[in-house]
């Protein structure tokens, strides 16, 4: 029911890569709406909190079975300077309250987002503002990427003067059965290490609670053996 405060109701986070129309009215993924409010009804309005401490009252509207942020949403976009090409993540604090995290030019604080490319061997560029000044192109760098407290080890290499994730991303894609076009959000938490959140093409966060931990551990052993052989 809409008033419940259980942890399951406060999930999932959802995201949107904004188009021009999203500056005025923004769609809530139907999967997220169903988990938040059920299939019969939703609230008439919600509160949206921004990182700078502002709170906005935004009303919802329904069209063809879908819910949208409408009246009041343009106040949010104008305040944050959101426009076509920006990326926004909504984290439900409860059933009628959301924390909004905007990504401008692909970056928000120590986080950045990207699409999952069609070829897993592609180079995933890490924005310069995310990297510590101590990064060096002269040494091999290994990043630990955490997904639901499971560690994956991914190589960081340089190409054309840019750093990016390479070897090891393919294991994440294969094990988690990720599809091209889903959204990846990397958040740096220590040195070369990152947390990773994955959002499906529908914009809803995946939790991967059924990931086989033993398989992840096997990947760790295999990967470290591979790195040892390279050295």
| Span 133-191, pLDDT tens digits | 656 555 568 888 999 888 888 989 888 888 899 888 888 888 888 999 999 999 998 88
The pLDDT value recorded for residue 139 is: 59
Helices 213-230 and 169-176, axial angle in degrees (round to 10): 160
For the beta carbon of residue 184, count every other beta carbon within 10 angstroms: 21
Q: Which of 71, 28, 89, 78 is nearest to 54 (CA)?
A: 78
Mean pLDDT by 10 residues, the chain (231 residues): 41 91 95 84 91 96 91 97 96 94 95 87 86 62 87 87 87 88 94 92 86 54 51 50
CA distance 224 to 221: 5
Give CA separation, 28 vs 22, 65, 183, in Å: 11, 11, 16
CA distance 78 to 86: 13
The pLDDT value recorded for residue 222 is: 55
The pLDDT value recorded for residue 219 is: 54
CA distance 37 to 221: 43
The pLDDT value recorded for residue 29 is: 93
Q: Count of residues for the chain?
A: 231
DSSP E strand boundaries for the chain: 14-17, 26-28, 45-50, 55-63, 66-69, 87-94, 97-103, 107-108, 111-115, 124-125, 141-147, 150-159, 162-165, 183-190, 193-199, 205-206
Residue pair 83/23 in contact (Cβ under 8 Å)? The answer is yes
Label residue 18 left, alpha or beta by phi (over 0 means left) and psi (-120 to 50 means alpha): beta
The pLDDT value recorded for residue 119 is: 74
The pLDDT value recorded for residue 213 is: 53
The pLDDT value recorded for residue 8 is: 41
Query: Environment class of residue 26 by beta-carbon count within 10 Å: exposed (0-12), middle (13-18) or buried (19+)?
Result: buried
pTM of the model: 0.84
The CA angle 214-12-18, to the nearest 5 degrees, is: 115
The CA angle 89-53-58, to the nearest 5 degrees, is: 60
């Amino acid at each position: 029911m809409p008033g419940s405060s259980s942890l399951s109701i406060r999930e999932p986070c959802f995201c949107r890569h904004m188009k021009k129309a999203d500056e005025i009215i923004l769609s809530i993924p139907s999967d997220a709406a169903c988990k938040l409010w059920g299939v019969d009804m939703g609230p008439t309005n919600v509160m949206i909190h921004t990182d700078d401490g502002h709170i906005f009252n935004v009303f919802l509207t329904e069209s063809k079975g879908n819910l949208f942020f409408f009246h009041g949403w343009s106040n949010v976009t104008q305040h944050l300077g959101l426009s076509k090409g920006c990326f926004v993540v909504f984290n439900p604090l409860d059933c009628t309250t959301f924390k909004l995290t905007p990504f401008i030019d692909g970056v928000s604080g120590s986080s950045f987002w990207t699409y999952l490319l069609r070829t897993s061997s592609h180079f995933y560029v890490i924005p310069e503002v995310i990297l510590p000044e101590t990064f060096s192109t002269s040494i091999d760098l290994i990043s630990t990427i955490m997904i639901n407290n499971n560690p994956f080890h991914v190589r960081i290499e340089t190409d054309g003067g840019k750093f990016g994730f390479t070897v090891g991303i393919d294991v994440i894609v294969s094990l988690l059965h990720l599809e091209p076009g889903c959204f990846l959000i990397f958040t740096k938490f220590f040195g070369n290490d990152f947390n990773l959140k994955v959002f499906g093409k529908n914009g809803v966060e995946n939790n991967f609670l059924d990931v086989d931990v033993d398989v992840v551990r096997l990947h760790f052993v295999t990967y470290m053996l591979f790195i040892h052989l390279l050295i």
